[in-house]
Amino acid sequence: MRVAFVVAAMLFCAPVFAQGVKFKSVTNSIGIELIEIPAGKFTMGSPASEKDREDNEAQVAVTMTKPSV
């Protein structure tokens, strides 16, 4: 589930990255760079039209009330 959240957050941020906006980042103890995810709303999950979608997959609305790293 955490991976799905990270991927969805990355997609949410993609338009901002395309504009060259830089976010605060930290590097964890194993060398992975983590970026700040801004507060906002996005849809996470698999749309009904997605190929190979499983019956237990759905889309949900996500609201982040504060930034997260």
**Domains of the chain: which residue ranges?**
2-64
Residue pair 45/60 in contact by the 8 Å Cβ criterion: yes
Q: Which residue has the higher pLDDT, 40 or 15?
A: 40
pLDDT in tens, 1-27: 455 555 556 655 565 555 666 778 889
Q: Is the pLDDT of residue 46 over 70?
A: yes
pTM of the model: 0.48
Residue pair 31/38 in contact by the 8 Å Cβ criterion: no
